Amino acid sequence: MALDNPTVARRYSQALFEVAQEKGQLKDLSLELNELKKGLLAQPQFIIFMASPAIKPEAKVAMINAMTEEASDLTKNLIMMAYDYGRIANLVTIIDAFNNLYDEYEKVVRVKVTTAIKLDKEQEDKLSDSFAKLVGAKKVIVNPQIDESIIGGVVLQSKSYIYDGSIKTKIERIKRLLLK
């Protein structure tokens, strides 16, 4: 039975996280994996090249060796193992799952902040600090989004929490009350 992408990502990332934690390399590995992810997203033809049956295995291994020349052993081993087991296409998902584990370990929460207008740095920092206290996080990383349809206010959305303080939602609530 073939494993689905989330299952593969969870297994590989958990094993990678545990090894990196044992070796005291979590932070460095996280930074390196995020650079790898940027490269994979910027060069989607790499996955096509690695998955192609028309390309000789020696050429694929040579490509991996060239791209990991200056990478840590953990990153090299991850890429090589993903290649050996036919999981190269899962690398981005594995990195995302690793990032989730690392964020949880470091008590970092990523939050999408939707507003009708662009927030300045001070406003983002205030929202970040307030949200960190609310969810018990050491650090909140804000991903700002602009959606003029919310009219005003703010919508905060993390993996496990949604706060909708938009004017659009408040108007909708008033409409429902009036229609009762």
Chain segment 29-54, per-residue pLDDT in tens: 999 999 999 999 999 999 999 989 99
CB atoms < 10 A from the CB of 152, how many? 13
Instruction: Report residue 160's pLDDT band, with 50, 70 and 90 as the boundaries.
Output: confident
Taking the alpha carbons at both ends of the chain, their separation in whole angstroms is 52
Q: Where in the chain is the domain with CATH 1.10.520.20?
A: 5-103
106-119 pLDDT, tens digit per residue, is 999 999 999 999 99
Residue 110 near residue 158, CB atoms below 8 Å: yes
The percentage of residues in the chain with a pLDDT greater than 90, rounded to a whole number, is 92
The class that CATH gives domain 5-103 is: mainly alpha
Average pLDDT, the chain: 94
pLDDT score for 3: 78
Residue 161 near residue 135, CB atoms below 8 Å: yes
The percentage of residues in the chain with a pLDDT greater than 70, rounded to a whole number, is 99
Instruction: Report residue 1's pLDDT band, with 50, 70 and 90 as the boundaries.
Output: low
Residue 51 near residue 89, CB atoms below 8 Å: yes
